[in-house]
Structure 1
Amino acid sequence: MPKFRKKPVEINAIRWTGDNIDAVMGFMHPQQPIHPNDLSHMRFTNADDLVGIETLEGVMFASKGDWIIRGVQGEFYPCKPDIFAATYEPVATGHVEVHVQPDPPHVADAIRDIRRHGGPPNYRR
């Protein structure tokens, strides 16, 4: 079977911390993040820990610690910290560099559990 390598691409990204909504809004301008409870068909008990992002595939949510990436065509999407660390590395620009480290194993286990069960454990449909 043929193998493929991802082309080297530089992207812009910001990490959602749960308390940096102004920075996220500035990064995503003119598109704006969506508060999860503004979606009439869902109610999240941990809504303030999440930020909704309009992606090419529909609304996706970034949890605290996730990265929000601006893709090569200006699109936005969330990325889990372990995937971000495995896929991207800082680009030296003469500015402050960000050092990305994978989350501890217990966080990676929690992410796997969330993916296995179809969503965050504390939300209602």
Structure 2
Amino acid sequence: MAKFREKPVVIDAIRWDGTNVTEVMDFMNWRNASHDDRQGLVIHTLEGSHSAMVGDMIIKGVAGEFYPCKPDIFAATYEVA
């Protein structure tokens, strides 16, 4: 079995705080997401729809896709560029 390391890639991300709907939707260019009081923030990805919880980081991937990431995973994976 071979070992692999992630390539160093700089990504854009924003923290969902539960109140910054406009800021997050602007970050996502008002696409691939929806928000309402019942479901909260839902991000539509190629793998399906994912609910973002307060505190999650919303990441723009290398292909322009968006997805939520738990804060602990984000902190273990990324650092400020």
What TM-score do you get using the length of structure 2 for normalisation?
A: 0.90
In structure 2, what is the equivalent of residue 25 of structure 1?
25
Mapped partners of 2:35, 2:18: distance in 1: 12
Q: In proportion to residue count, which structure has more strand?
A: 2
Percent of residue pairs identical? 58
SS of corresponding position for 1:34? strand
- CA RMSD between the two structures: 1.6
Q: Which of the two has greater helix per residue?
A: 1
> Which residue of 2 is the match for residue 116 of structure 1?
none
**Equivalent residue pairs, number:** 81
Unaligned 5+ runs, structure 2: none
Indicate which of 46, 51, 55 corresponds to 2:41.
51
Match among 49, 59, 62 for residue 52 of structure 2: 62
Contact 1:67/1:80 (8 A) holds in 2 = yes
Q: Extract structure 1 runs of 4+ deviating beyond 3 A.
A: none
Contact 1:33–1:51 (8 Å) recurs in 2: yes
Task: Give the secondary structure class of the aligned counterpart of 1:29.
Answer: coil
Q: How does 1:1-125 map to 2 (within 5 A)?
A: 1-35=1-35, 47=39, 50-91=40-81
Shift of 1:33: 2.3
TM-score, length basis structure 1: 0.60
**Greater Rg, structure 1 or structure 2?**
1
